[in-house]
Structure 1
Amino acid sequence: MRHPITSKILMSLPAWETTALLVALVAWLMNVPVCTAQELRVYTTVRDIRLDQTDKAPVVARSLTLFHAGKAYDFIEGAQEVTIFEPSLKRFTILALSRGLMTDVTQDEIRHFLSLAEAEAQKVISGLERQETASSRAAASSLSFQLSPTFTTEFQEAAGILTLRSGGVHYNVKVSGAPSSELVESYLRFADSTAQLNSVLYPRALLPAPRLLVNEQLRARSLMPLAVELQITDGQPIRWRAEHEIAYKFAKLDREYIHHWESKIQNGTLKSLPFRQFQQEHLGNISTSRR
């Protein structure tokens, strides 16, 4: 399987397949905190707001994220995929329920894969720059931004709006205070880790550095996002908004969901694969369709 960094999709941001785009953008838009002291429930709706910015805009993805007993359970409905984060073990477990597959990957492994992707990205940039065409220069610039992003940042405290702008990527974040600084830090630790995971797992995902800078701005102000709008103008335009419904108490069926997912891991109904093989079997139809 060719590494995702070599894809033209990473360089010029054309249309992505629904599943890979759904998960990659949720990683950039949705990330929520791991809270060991109390229950936390976040139901996220991601909308395509290019043509309609109201609550009637088309829904791209829905996600339920539950935090219980030191773990975060992130379930993406359309993909039938569960990602379980255990910060104490520095490990992710990913369940592909519709395909009967699962895998474990550590944060050390993720950082290793990411370093390989970044090194290959540098090679791709060098090759594009040698072509000396307008399109290759634009692609090189887009990929360079993903490696070393810079934003102009503005915070409107009274309105609770944090904006980060660059030439081709714009974040507009509706923010609020958190019950504690520990909760904010837990959120940002998970947000950082998930952004890195998705950058190496999904063939169409962006590199994590831009999202990490957003997280830094939230950390500096001890804020959590209520809604995140991401606009990308390079290549094919994207404008999505993630809307979060946050509760500090589980809904009626939430514990049953957690029990169901944990049972899938324990009872042997899912085939456990090494991380790279999991990518091939679970995401192969996505990664090969754009080669």
Structure 2
Amino acid sequence: MKSALKTVWSLGVLLGAGIISLTGTLYGQDFRIYTRVYNEASPNQTRASVLGRSLSLFHAGKVYDYIENGSESEVIIYEPSQERFVVLNTSRNLATTIHFDEVAHKMHLARQVTENRITELETQQPPASPDVLDQLRFPLEANLVEHFDAEQNLLTLSSPHLTYSARCVEIENQEVVDFYLEYADQIAQLNYILHPNALYPKPRLELNRHLRRLVRLPVEVRLRSSIGVETQLRAEHQVHWKLDAGDRSLIHEWESTLKSELTKNVPLNEYQRALLISQTSRR
């Protein structure tokens, strides 16, 4: 899959793409969220650089996550009533369907592989260092210490390896919180399946669990991670509580493309292979 598309979308998911802003009301059925993800890791930059942008359209019980990069564009459609995602590459009229149970199965297998690797490293002679083992275990266990500052509406989940800081807004409607966070849970796991180099999503799921309990949604999320490459990211989000004509036109275009005879529906492995071959040929 094209690296720029992967980077923008996976970063958005890691930080919580589609986060709700403080203005407006949450109770409308249709709204749009524009997300920017910033890199704050470089000490030589006076201003954080924008790593990616994405558009999320919430309409008729579905969520359309749209990423565009040059000639490539991809839409991830969340369809909870069908218990599935539909991934559409609009540049190539190529689509694939991924059911929630398939994602859950692949997540289980990924966890088993990591657990087996940890066992191998523990029993080899000499054993791997504690630091290496801790970094492998942490994403599976996500032992994070919670601190919630009610006055600042700031939720912090911290550990020696990773820290999330989420500025929040209180929501009166638990159903709204549950719907959004179920979407965030599912798409974080899908991200890991599509992009295996991404962080195992348990830390993000833990953030969502605490938000459910607090009946809050985040308006800005900061992530610090020392797992692998040092990472410092920040996500900001702009929400509009009505879809405009352009948004509705995009949704109609995507749905029409999915129904078109020109669009080829293929299994996930074939979808990924086709995009990988295309990327390699351009190089």
Matched-pair contact (CA < 8 Å) for 1:155–1:161: yes
Give me the whole-angstrom Cα distance separating, in 2, the residues matched to 1:113 and 1:243. Answer: 30
The alignment's TM-score, normalised by the length of structure 2, stands at 0.87
Unaligned residue ranges in structure 1 (runs of 5+)? 1-16
Of 243-252 and 25-34, the range deviating more from structure 2: 25-34
1:60 alignment partner, one of 42, 51, 56: 51
Task: Indicate the residue corresponding to 2:35 in structure 1.
Answer: 44
Task: Indicate the residue corresponding to 2:248 in structure 1.
Answer: 255
2:6 alignment partner, one of 20, 33, 36: 20
Give me the whole-angstrom Cα distance separating, in 1, the residues matched to 2:225 and 2:278. Answer: 25
Task: Indicate the residue corresponding to 1:266 in structure 2.
Answer: 259
Give me the whole-angstrom Cα distance separating, in 2, the residues matched to 1:123 and 1:253. Answer: 49
| 1:91 correspondence with 2:84 | yes
How far 1:233 sits from its partner (Å)?
1.5
Between the two proteins, the alignment pairs up a number of residues equal to 271
| 1:120 correspondence with 2:113 | yes
Of 278-287 and 64-73, the range deviating more from structure 2: 278-287
| 1:276 correspondence with 2:269 | yes
CA 1:19–1:177 in 2, change beyond 3 Å: closer, same or farther?
A: same
Task: Indicate the residue corresponding to 2:23 in structure 1.
Answer: none
Which amino acid counterpart does residue 136 of structure 2 have in structure 1? Answer: L
Per-residue CA shift, 1:70-101, capped at 9, x if unaligned? 11101123362110011111110001223432
Give me the whole-angstrom Cα distance separating, in 2, the residues matched to 1:193 and 1:63. Answer: 18
Task: Indicate the residue corresponding to 1:70 in structure 2.
Answer: 61
How far 1:25 sits from its partner (Å)?
2.1
Q: SS state of the match for residue 214, structure 1? A: helix
Which amino acid counterpart does residue 21 of structure 1 have in structure 2? Answer: T
| 1:193 correspondence with 2:175 | no
For residues 127-138 of structure 1, the aligned pairs below 5 Å read 127-131=120-124, 137-138=130-131
CA 1:128–1:36 in 2, change beyond 3 Å: closer, same or farther?
A: farther
Which amino acid counterpart does residue 207 of structure 2 have in structure 1? Answer: V
Give me the whole-angstrom Cα distance separating, in 1, the residues matched to 2:92 and 2:121. Answer: 37
Per-residue CA shift, 1:14-44, capped at 9, x if unaligned? xxx5443332221121244898952121110
1:210 alignment partner, one of 186, 203, 208: 203
**Aligned-pair RMSD on alpha carbons?**
2.6
How far 1:132 sits from its partner (Å)?
5.9
Between the aligned residues of both structures, percent identity stands at 35
How far 1:253 sits from its partner (Å)?
0.9
Matched-pair contact (CA < 8 Å) for 1:21–1:204: no
Per-residue CA shift, 1:31-69, capped at 9, x if unaligned? 448989521211100010113799942111101001111
Give me the whole-angstrom Cα distance separating, in 1, the residues matched to 2:268 and 2:248. Answer: 28
Matched-pair contact (CA < 8 Å) for 1:83–1:92: yes
Which protein is bigger by CA-based radius of gyration?
A: 2
CA 1:126–1:207 in 2, change beyond 3 Å: closer, same or farther?
A: same
Q: SS state of the match for residue 80, structure 1? A: strand
How far 1:275 sits from its partner (Å)?
1.5
Which amino acid counterpart does residue 33 of structure 2 have in structure 1? Answer: V
Unaligned residue ranges in structure 2 (runs of 5+)? 21-25
